[in-house]
Structure formats: C-alpha cells, structure tokens
Chains A and B, each alone.
Chain A
Amino acid sequence: MDFEKYLRMDKLPHIWCPGCGHGTILNSFIRAFAESDFDQDKTVVISGIGCSGRATGYLNFDTLHTTHGRAIAFATGVKMANPELNVIVMTGDGDGSAIGGNHLIHAARRNIDLTVILFNNQIYGMTGGQFSPMTPTGDLASTAPYGNIDQNFNLAELVAGAGGTFIARGATFDPRQLKKLYLAALKHKGFSFVESLSQCPVSYGRQNKAGDAVEMLKKQEEDTINFKKWQQLSTEEKKLKYPLGILKELDNPESEYTVRYQKIIEQVNNEGAL
C-alpha cells in the first residue's frame, strides 16, 4: 500500500523507541483510513500530550497537537463548529483516562461523533515510567517500585457506561483486527472508542522485566481473547483475559450530539425562541 501520502515524510523516522507499539497503531490507522471513503482534506486528527501525542505530528492531515488531556475537548469544539468534518482523537492511557478522564466521560455521554483511538501502553512512557490508571495491579513503575497497589481499570467499560455507542479493544499483535476495528469506528456515527493495547518495551518492559518487543507481543497474545469466546468464560476466568473485538455497538445516528444540536437550531429558527 502507498502509505506515504498519509504521512509527513520529512518528519520520519518517528521518535518512538525501537519496538514501540504506537507505530503499529499508526500503521493500522492509516490502512483503515485508506479503506474508508473519507476525504483526507475533511479529516482532522487531534492529540494531547505524551508518547501518543506525537502521532499527529507524523500524519499528513489537518492536525492539532493540544494540551495535556484536552484532545477530546478541542475535538468537541472542532466537531461542533463544523459537523461535516471527520474528527479523530489520538490519546494515551494517561492523557485519556487520567488528565483528560472527564472529557472522555462527557464526550461519551453526549455521544458526539468522534473517533477516539486510545494508545494503551499501561505506563507514562515519555516522562520516565510512572504508573498510569491503566497500569495493572502489582506491576512495577518508577513511582511504584514495590508494585502498583491501584485496582485494575476497565476503561472500555467506563466509556460504555457513560454512553459511548461504539466500544472496541484491539492489540498491536494483531494489526489486521486493529485495522478492522478502526475502520468500523471511523464509519460509526456517534462516539466511538477503540482501546488499543500497545507494548512499551522501554519504560514499562525494562521495569517489569517483560523482555523485548517480540516477547511483549507474545505475552499480549496470551493475555487476550476474542470477545465472543471471553463471554463464555466463568467469572473468575474472565478476570484473567482482556477481551478483544467490538465490545458494544449501538446504531442510533439520531442520538448523535451535533444532529441533536442542529435540530434545536432548526426548531428555534422555525418557531422562534421562547
């Protein structure tokens, strides 16, 4: 595939570490976008801060690299001002679930037509490996040298509970599935969220003696299972595996935020303000 037209060639090679899964996510996204019928000039990609925040710098789209945790807030503004644009958010697990956690909840609650791709490497990689809300219990981080005491956080379930209408989880060991999920998320009318499991062999891997990228991908494959198979597991078994695939899909374009907003505008224009 000629991926070059979707990349800012003068900005590559990227700064992500050798073996970092973020590049695979970007790779899969580009392929999904190429398969969609979206116009590259009518697409805006927005990111926050962190390793994931670098993604927009390499993409040859209209992009915004925003403040920490606020990618979804900026994206909401872009979408409300110009609903015909396709707005994609690239955020990390720290950026999206901690610093920008509230924006994530409320964008999902509004069911605004954004596609959020959350790069989940389970650590704050860029700043030196501090634990994030997505770091599993017991894992080591520079701020948890004796093991993380926080409980595991099922972010996909949170977004589903908040009202997001398309929720999926993919992983970098299976880029074919990742591409399919991104394509389905792009096409979905409403808030779509794809948690993308990514390996961080440097900031996470070294502290946890997880080996190199290849070993981490192998572990990722062992720790995950297809969503349909996961549903048949016992409650105890379910806790040991991450389900992959489309976890929730509700097709209700009328409930989308900008559609409802447009209806109000029309209503007031026709009937006049109260």
Chain B
Amino acid sequence: MARGERIQIAHPGWCKNCGICVSVCPTDILITGKKSVEILDLEKCIGCHNCELICPDFVLKVVANDEN
C-alpha cells in the first residue's frame, strides 16, 4: 500500500452492482448505486487495495492521487 493512492472507478460500465467491494472497504466509502458502485467520500480512501483485488469485474483500480 503506497501513500498518495486512492480508488478510481476505472470501468463503471462493467460493474454489476454485486456489492462485494462495499463489504470489504475498511472505511465504508463505497456504496452500490443505481447502475454501478459509487464513491461516497474519496478523501477517506486509504488505498488499501481490498476492493480492487476482490472485484470480480475489473471495475476498480487504485491509482496515484494526481490521476484521480
């Protein structure tokens, strides 16, 4: 886990709203939205990679802060 990294919804069109990422987020910043996952508060993201690693649909990606 590198500093200055946060989550990005890289491929929102691939999301199937299964909610797995929401359940593994330690800071509870993800919610299942109408069509795909949504970020509630990006500032609280600690870049732990939990959601990115478990996402079955390659939707999420942890990127450097300046890319977000």
Contact = CB atoms under 8 A, between A and B. Distances in A.
Interface of A: 1, 3, 7, 12-14, 16-24, 26-28, 31, 172-173, 175-176, 179, 201, 212-214, 217
Given A12-B11, A31-B53, A3 B58 contact: yes
B18 interface: yes
A22 B56 contact: yes
A18 B17 contact: yes
A55 to B, nearest CB: 12
A21 B23 contact: no
B20 interface: yes
Contact of A217 (B11, B23, B57, B58): B23
Contacts of A20: 56
Contact of B57 (A23, A175, A212): A23
B23 A214 contact: yes
A12 B15 CA distance: 11
B13 to A, nearest CB: 7
6 contacts: A18-B18, A23-B58, A24-B54, A214-B22, A217-B20, A217-B23
A6 to B, nearest CB: 10
B11 A19 contact: no
A52 to B, nearest CB: 13
B8 to A, nearest CB: 12
Interface string B36-62: 000000000000000011111110010
Contacts of A12: 11, 14, 58
A31 B55 CA distance: 13
A22 B11 CA distance: 18
Nearest to A19: B18
A175 B54 contact: yes
B16 A172 contact: no
A172 B19 contact: no
A13 B23 contact: no
A27 B55 contact: yes
Contact of A28 (B11, B13, B22, B53): B53
A21 B57 contact: no
A31 B53 CA distance: 9
A217 B13 CA distance: 24
Among A19, A172, A179, residue most surrounded by chain B Cβ atoms (within 10 Å): A19
Given A19-B56, A28-B53, 7 more contacts: A13-B57, A16-B56, A18-B17, A31-B53, A212-B18, A214-B20, A217-B20
Nearest to B54: A175
B58 A175 contact: no
Given A1-B61, A214-B23, A24 B56 contact: yes
A27 B61 contact: no
